[in-house]
A and B are shown apart, each in its own frame.
Chain A
């Protein structure tokens, strides 16, 4: 996002603070991406719809807390969305869905330099599905949502370097688990 566009967005946020109806422009701009972000993590579209609406409702009500410090508004929205889905699963009412694309599984194999043999393919899916939530989030954002480290850092409120480091560690762990662990226990 260019500096000019960013500035324009800051003005839009300011306007929405004074008049909530003006939030419509931000809602229109980010609705689809927030919906996709939520839908990636939940079981059906109705839950995704409700949660997305809730995200925007919270964003609008908490707009006064948003302060532009170089992090795009979209990243702030993603954080709100992340909290919202976490809350959804914390209540343990809904299934946390791990939506995996088979094509992307091969990209992860590429990344960890492991040959995608049939037996490893299932193991990879199993391993990813059982990663702790914070690690699964990083894998999802990097591979299934194709986000840059910079954006991941902005969403997770960590540095770009830290995002890289964490992902490398998770991939190392996935590699080790795929190579060695056949157990069905939780991946800790």
Chain B
């Protein structure tokens, strides 16, 4: 293995930095030096080039002046100026507010806490979250220390409904790829004195013990940079279990064992199916390996300029030479001399080299030993016949290999789907058994703002369709401005899709047809639409159109609780 160095999260270069290094002139001058002789000597090019190439050196949210309509309008109508082109979309994205709660009437409110800036303070939020504030922790916008009372405004977001209503983007960009956050809780914290914003003093840190309903240890902390419009990775979360005295929850042994039992039971149910699928895959892989071993080897044409031997080889010892009628052995290395032809050798032995279709020819005369690398070659009709035979066999080989590889992919997909099904079933079992198991997630903040305990994920990969959304009357529903939301029950991931073409078909809509999906969004008519009843099974074909019928919601949404009620109805 080559010398390796591993780096984690190396800072990325911007496009500007990379493009600044472009120097086509240098490439051109490199080629100019060597191109000219090539016109005369085409074979000369590649070797000289190598030698002389001395290194030359989505969110479209709109809330401006939302006017709720009389009955149940959720957000304002689309701005008429927005173009329906992709360029229009990006312009709109650029100008759109970064954080935009979709339902103005249901914005999650801040809780307010007064703290004395001169002493240590601990805020305990209604959720159980604790915020520890050291003395002299605040400064004003000019950097002057703040004395006296400071008002802390604080709110939390825990479930899909909260995340949706927050209007905070839940995507994370990394190397140009967008991930979707699964959240174990998010906070928004600000400080004020006399309604003027205050800031955390340089060198001071507020420590947060956020109560989280998800006890898994896979989450990281991220801070939202509202200027650069992106989440910044801070580090992995530390987890603290609540003290027995403080905990209102009771992760009792019986609950734990119930959850463990349920998970084990699911595993037992799935194991035979998974093992069967694994055995089948192993079988196909063995077939593939065996086919690969029988890959025919292309015959080589004799090079008249090189030295050759005629040797009698036994077909049973060298079956790979069966194709070679009247084979010659061409000397590969250049240590061979023409004078060797004049010698009558006492012994000539052929043995296999590690390279494909290369052999070692060992020659002995008295005590002199010579060893050369040779390869079998053919000439004239023998070569043509062998080539034709090879082409036929190679086509048969490729067809057989492709067939088995396609089978392997199919079986792998089946295995993936079984594993996924088991994982979901286990998660559901865990969810129902451990709903009351809460933990504290610990992190420190040096600035007020929005912080999230998250884990990035790709969009679901189980099904990819062109989704066409219609209402109960069969009319098209368009989510081009606010986006369409997808969540799986029991999983705190909010996927958002945008439709730049503004028609009712959402290309490449990815979802898991085996999950219990919640699909909703605010359509361009300003109303909330939702998938009220999921079909028992989705009848879909990948990359084909799938019609999804949504219901228009005629209920006013005034809080996260209203939304949750809808999700659970």
Contacts and interface: CB of A to CB of B under 8 A. Distances in A.
B81 interface: no
A53 B57 contact: yes
Given A96-B4, A100-B8, A61 B458 contact: no
Given A21-B28, A118-B217, A100 B2 contact: no
A125 interface: yes
Interface string B409-427: 1001000000110010000
Interface in A22-52: 23-24, 27-28, 31-32, 35-36, 39, 43, 45, 49-50, 52
Contacts of B32: 20
B439 to A, nearest CB: 15
A49 B17 CA distance: 11
Interface size class of B (residues with CB under 8 A): 35 or more
B408 A57 contact: no
B6 A32 contact: no
A89 B3 CA distance: 8
B233 A53 contact: no
A61 B49 contact: yes
A62 to B, nearest CB: 7
B456 interface: yes
Contact of A32 (B19, B26, B405): B19
B179 A107 contact: yes
Contacts of B35: 20, 61
Contacts of A95: 2-5
A90 B2 contact: yes
B34 interface: yes
A165 B405 contact: yes
B216 interface: yes
B305 interface: no
B460 to A, nearest CB: 11
Interface stretch (B107-115, B170-178, B340-348, B553-561): B170-178
A68 interface: no
A53 B31 CA distance: 11
A contact face: mostly helix, strand, loop, or mixed = helix
Given A53-B56, A110-B458, A28 B218 contact: no
A76 to B, nearest CB: 16
Given A58-B49, A161-B402, A161-B406, A102 B57 contact: no
Contacts of B456: 103, 106-107
Interface in B196-221: 216-218, 220
Interface in B220-275: 220, 233, 236
B457 A110 contact: yes
Contacts of A43: 5
A2 to B, nearest CB: 15
Nearest to A188: B1
A116 B219 CA distance: 9
Nearest to B415: A168
B288 A102 contact: no
Interface of A: 20-21, 23-24, 27-28, 31-32, 35-36, 39, 43, 45, 49-50, 52-54, 56-58, 60-62, 89-90, 92, 94-104, 106-107, 109-110, 113, 115-118, 121, 125, 129-130, 132-133, 144-146, 159, 161-162, 164-165, 168-169, 186
